[in-house]
A and B are shown apart, each in its own frame.
Chain A
Amino acid sequence: MTKSIDTSIYAAVSEAIRAEAQRILSDGTVTAIVGYAAARRKGSAQPIVISSADDAAKLIFTPACVNNLAVYLTKAKKEIPKKGKVGIVVKGCDLKALSGLMGESQLKREDLYLIGVPCAGVLASTVQPATELTSDSIAPKCTECDAQLPGGCDFVPPQAPLTPGQTRKYAAEIARLEALTPAERWAYWKEQFSKCIKCYACRQVCPFCFCEQCLCDRNKPQMVDTTPRPAGNTAWHIVRAMHLAGRCAGCAECERVCPMDIPLNLLNRKMAKELKELYDYEAGFEVNDKGPLNSYTEKDDQSFIK
């Protein structure tokens, strides 16, 4: 059954973001703000970097504000943080990515001014931007979100997001796959991976894929075939899931940008699930300088080792 989701607070949230942006830009707290602005198509939104208080009026927050802007601070706009303190508009999931990046010493908290957004959910990548937000059109990641209200920000609009109970879409799909036999799972993933065209959009958009040179691009030695064909694709996806295990913030940007509609985030979320079970680790708002895979305890499970 389709349930509509209340996004009435978004107008007031946008208003509050604009006022705050106006204030911090004019009093010089920050030199620039990364946020969302309306894009050309009706109802759509796009990332924007503003550096003048006059542009603050451009900022918005709507269900079309899907991007995780954290990526702009590590890769695309690497030079931004160097010019002084930067403001950034973050949803809860984006904030988890920022916390992870701070833990990995990619960013410093004192260089950032965090504008947190109380978020009731954003639209799935498969629907038109002007669509109404319902339990059908919502992004799958939002059905599992435990971070509607970001914590530890410098400013959060006072509105409280409404959190309707929803069916956890990824959890359901992971459970379905786990119940299959290995051969069936192999067939499923073979089919999915064979669609990959190796555009690396998933890598470009991921805040954690910030390596200057990716292992998958190296050819001496070549560990992963670069061809967009079955063997290379399978290796790419396994390596990608492994390198993000214990780091992924679950923003599902990788899956959103994939032009071939591969359910990429299933792999990342499966890893997150295992890390939770094995080492009680979960991506969150607090900054940890050690992730689950670069720390250990002497009592870790070793029942699989002879």
Chain B
Amino acid sequence: MHPEKQKHTFEPKIIAFVCTWCTYAGADLAGTSRMQYPPNVRVLKFPCTGRIDPVFILKAFQQGADGVLVSGCHPGDCHYIAGNFHARRRFAVFRKLLEFVGVDLNRLQFSWVSAAEGGKWVEVVTDLTEKVRAMGPMTEFRELALEEQWSGAINTPELEEAYNQI
């Protein structure tokens, strides 16, 4: 039995960078246990959170993500012993940098989800999706990319139309 699907006017794109040993397995568990969670999330698998370069998050936003989730093993459970400890420091600092240049940190979520926590995965993804849905689309980075393609002023109806189609 599926619960009644709700219709929304805005479906956010959420990119999830996850480690293969814990969170990916956790998401898999959620799937095999037939738990429901928003299909807005696109999962990208990495060997370890330590392999997730902050530039990936930047790239995701530039390519149109409305929210980004980074998730890996709980501290102490890293398959490579300390990858997540390093990642924790790196992301703590990266958040501060994004905040300083003016990115709303509500669009960026970090979490520890173990291979046994299918339920937590569902909760984290659902929370982030609903939070971002309420915030609306992430326009800042997308506008930069559009400005990159459009240097002239959009001052004719034809240009206006073409612009709106991108």
Using a CB–CB distance below 8 Å, which chain A residues touch chain B? 177-178, 182-190, 215, 223-225, 227, 229-232, 234-235, 237-239, 241-242, 245-246, 267, 270-271, 274-275, 278-279, 292-294, 296-298, 300-302, 304-306
Contact = CB atoms under 8 A, between A and B. Distances in A.
B112 interface: yes
Interface stretch (B6-14, B140-148, B158-166): B140-148
B145 A189 contact: no
Contact of A239 (B55, B88, B89, B99): B55
Nearest to A279: B89
Interface of B: 53-56, 58-59, 62, 75-76, 82, 85-86, 88-104, 109-112, 124, 140-141, 144-145, 147-148, 151
A241 B90 CA distance: 12
Given A183-B102, A186-B102, A306-B112, A271 B55 contact: no
Instruction: Give the 7 A-B residue pairs with the shortest CB-CB distance, closest first.
Output: A186-B102, A185-B102, A306-B111, A296-B85, A231-B144, A230-B144, A305-B110
B141 A300 contact: no
Nearest to A241: B97
17 contacts: A185-B102, A189-B102, A230-B147, A231-B144, A231-B148, A234-B101, A235-B58, A235-B62, A238-B97, A270-B97, A271-B97, A278-B92, A293-B89, A298-B76, A300-B88, A306-B112, A306-B124
A271 B97 CA distance: 7
Given A185-B101, A231-B147, A270-B97, A242 B85 contact: no
Scoring A235, A239, A297, A305 by chain B CB atoms within 10 A of each residue's CB, the highest score goes to A305
B92 A301 contact: yes
A223 B57 CA distance: 10
B55 A224 contact: yes
Given A227-B148, A306-B110, A242 B94 contact: yes
Contacts of A232: 148
Contacts of B98: 238
Contact of B102 (A188, A231, A270, A297): A188
Contacts of A301: 92
